[in-house]
Structure 1
């Protein structure tokens, strides 16, 4: 965690105007402990502040200098940007249900708002909320541990929520285990897996049957090589058993599921890369499985059950009580955004991203900024292989926009940051639901909006 002074922040979002913040300082000597203790009891303020406003927008747009309280002396370039967005948000490719917000992070003003408080299906933009909570509760240096223990003739592979565990990591665990077995004069062993860290259910509300195991696997505490299979724990155990056999140990019987005993002898362990690196990977490639694992581990870190409900409760608490992000019309049921029952306003996503521009949060949340795909960055979800920022209107923003993508059938989102020519941060969020245009055409229109915020498409 960041050792700088922690702040409890509340805010109210004012479309077309200033976002008022009231900050009360508190001791920083144990922010994580504060979060854990606060979440040990039900949090009444985490209830939805209002019903979902999905498809309830009135189509209004508020721009800088508008009647809603925007800065009367708005910069001419911002006024032009807002005017361009007024016209371009009506692009038929975006459909009728589209929302958007642009914030000036330096002046704390809303430069443009088009139904920004309307809650729409955000797709993978939910990962921004998941990453924020995980880094805040666990800390960017946190590592996940996979263990091997021995007892009663059985080696048990114990899952610790490391969604990045690889076959090479398992090979090192097997090598250490074999050395211990041979030293003890044991040549035959049974193999079991313990994934009891994550209780059922393994599937979230709102996930379509076609999502798993390829788009997302049932959420378990043990997996190897990120494989998309129905039972990742047994699969990992079978890989481990095969590695033991290669090293000369006879594995008796099939791999089974069990629970490690407190009397079992520790044999080997593997620690993951730091959480900051895992978050970067999750955001660059929009990895659904990492997101769902982080949601469970964040719940555990805050003293809550490692369930979808426990994880989303912690996300809500962290966003609202730690950072003062508005939860009006905010409703999530998973950590990845695959749930078709998730609803999040563009205004909320913009507030989350605005945190990344504030130096006091750089240590804790810096991995999110570093992990956001960059327009035109190969290997990310904004790379040329996905056809992003290759439209004549958006090509000018290549290398200038960092943003999280979101794509589901009937929902496309793009939320991120860019800097003006004079180095000022502009934060944006755009979400559309229900457009009948081809997905690639919708994305081209979205990329154009981001290029408009950057100012290169003037």
Structure 2
């Protein structure tokens, strides 16, 4: 007697159900085993009273398979950049470009900023075999080519962002450091000046040999010396008085050396710099000022109003500088730019944070809205808080996103390339890919990212270490993070070889 179709379906359903139960039980056992091993790594990490939160997700299922204090809000340091850059990609799109335009309106030259953090970025210019001087020369040449020899006014339009250039949470004693560079609607040269010094050939005090970009009206005070001494080494430091561009260069200078110092009020400094360069080429400039009010910059009409130059930077380039090289300025500029795009007002830290929260809800659901509190874009603020489980949910959402995921993951640090992972993970197997973001501020060390194999299997992970005691070296936290990645790499290799069911 032949079994009925219903009987055959029922039998098949029961078999599949049994297999699902077996696989589910194995997956649960596998996850429990992995979590136990991560807990063992934490116990043996010699971290003292350090607070550690860990979340690991299977990229195939999106399920969290390791959950250790995963819902505790923690300071993410530069892991905050994952949210800033991801939200920028989500809102602006992969084809977005930051733009800066030179617009000539009769006898008025407008420089219209788009908040581009890469304008005059020395690293990107070097890739083009350019320098800051090359870029400035190109700007001046376009004005000369227009036939203009006298400008009544040079206007810098930085209104795409607010004019709160310094975040209130940033350490006041570090505002002259490049990682605390001001953030403006028109940025230039990473908003720093690079000063070089060398011993005096006449045997006197060391001398300043160059400043890039050259700002001839800024004359740093020289407190350098060249006194020799046993085991003496060359060191240079530069202080800047807050809210001014009064600088002091100090240190023992026994050989040529250079250092960066941030610039205050970059749009005004740039206006004076461009005026100086134009006048050096015979183009007289009457006055310089920042744009005011709500009247927009003129639009090119091909007649009396002409766009002389448009400088564009791809969003992907800015994301890579943000995530691979951990450039804070690039993160802050993306945050303010999405605030502007989302609310059509001047970009700010507040409306940028609201934009990120909106994207978190859109991509992850409202249950993760309380898993993030954002104060700035780069992670310099200690008021930023995220939960490890929200970090891995965020990473998983991009890893599984066929449209935006590739660009997002490519922007992250890779141990095979130069960046913040240099010297770490050198012994990863060749078939294991790692894309992640580091994060460090005082007492905080974080690592979050995605590790995968050549078969497409992978995990999103987040290991956040907070309140690291002063007597515990940061290297201990890094070793824990590296051990977790190594454990996941071995899991992926075992799974690929079909031997992960030990």
Unaligned regions of 5+ residues in structure 1, if any?
Answer: 1-69
The equivalent residue for 2:54 is 100
* Structural mapping, 1:339-378, within 5 Å: 339-358=381-400, 361-375=401-415, 377-378=416-417
Distance 1:247 1:363, change over 3 A: farther
Write the distance in 2 (CA, Å) between the matches of 1:161 and 1:381. Answer: 25
Distance 2:102 2:455 in 1: 54
Q: Do structure 1's residue 176 and structure 2's residue 146 form an aligned pair?
A: no
The alpha-carbon deviation at position 108 of structure 1 amounts to 2.8
- Larger Rg, first or second structure (1 or 2): 2
Q: How far apart, CA to CA, are the structure 2 residues paired with 1:128 and 1:263?
A: 36
Q: Using a 3 Å threshold, how does the CA distance of structure 1 residues 103 and 188 change in structure 2: closer, same or farther?
A: closer
Contact 2:169–2:381 (Cα < 8 Å) also in 1: yes
> What does residue range 159-170 of structure 1 map to in structure 2 within 5 Å?
159-166=113-120, 167=132, 168-170=134-136
Q: Deviations over 1:22-73 (max 9, x none)?
A: xxxxxxxxxxxxxxxxxxxxxxxxxxxxxxxxxxxxxxxxxxxxxxxx9421
CA distance in 1, matches of 2:179, 2:489: 32
Question: Alignment length, in residue pairs?
Answer: 375
Matched, 1:230 2:183: no
Q: 1:95, 1:455 → 2: CA distance?
A: 29
Deviation at 1:282, TM superposition (A): 1.4
Q: Show the counterpart of 2:181.
A: 217
8 Å CA contact 1:176–1:267 kept in 2: the answer is no
- 1:173–1:270 contact (8 Å) kept in structure 2: no
CA apart distance, 1:304: 4.5
CA contact (8 A) 1:145 1:269 kept: no
Matched-pair contact (CA < 8 Å) for 1:81–1:455 = no
1:309 aligns with 2:350: yes
Partner-residue secondary structure (3-state), 1:119: coil
Calculate the aligned-residue CA RMSD, in Å: 2.7
> Any gaps of 5 or more consecutive residues in structure 2?
1-22, 121-131, 193-262, 300-304, 495-502
SS at match of 1:92: coil
Task: Tell me whether 1:143 sits opposite 2:97 in the alignment.
Answer: yes
Using the TM superposition, give the Cα deviation of residue 81 of structure 1 relative to its aligned residue in structure 2, in angstroms.
3.4
Give the whole-Å Cα distance in 1 for the aligned partners of 2:185 and 2:340. Answer: 12
The one-character-per-residue Cα deviations of 1:167-200 (angstroms, maximum 9, x if unpaired) are 3444333221222143xxx345543322122113
Using the TM superposition, give the Cα deviation of residue 380 of structure 1 relative to its aligned residue in structure 2, in angstroms.
0.9
Structure 1 residue matching 2:308: 3-state secondary structure: strand
Distance in structure 2 (CA, Å) of the matches to 1:343 and 1:288: 17
**Structure 1 residues 232 and 279, CA gap change in structure 2 (3 angstroms):** same
- Check whether the contact 1:280–1:367 (CA below 8 A) recurs between aligned residues: no
CA distance in 1, matches of 2:356, 2:306: 34
| Partner secondary structure for residue 86 of structure 1 | helix
Secondary structure at the aligned position of 2:404 is classed as helix
Deviation at 1:401, TM superposition (A): 1.9
**Match of residue 453, structure 1, among 488, 496, 500:** 488
TM-superposition CA deviations, 1:136-165 (whole Å, max 9, x none): 111111112212234574423221111111
Q: Is 1:118 aligned to 2:154, yes or no? A: no
Q: 1:234-271: per-residue Cα shift (whole Å, max 9, x none)?
A: 23223323432343323446x43334765583442323
**TM-score of the superposed pair, with normalisation by structure 1:** 0.75
| SS at structure 2 position matched to 1:400 | strand
1:95 Cα deviation after fit: 4.0
Q: Deviations over 1:54-108 (max 9, x none)?
A: xxxxxxxxxxxxxxxx942128765553332110122223743110011111133
What TM-score results when the alignment is normalised by the length of structure 2? 0.69
Assess if the C-alpha contact under 8 Å between 1:282 and 1:291 holds in 2: yes
Aligned with residue 389 of structure 1, among 425, 437, 454: 425
Cα separation, 2, equivalents of 1:133 and 1:329: 15
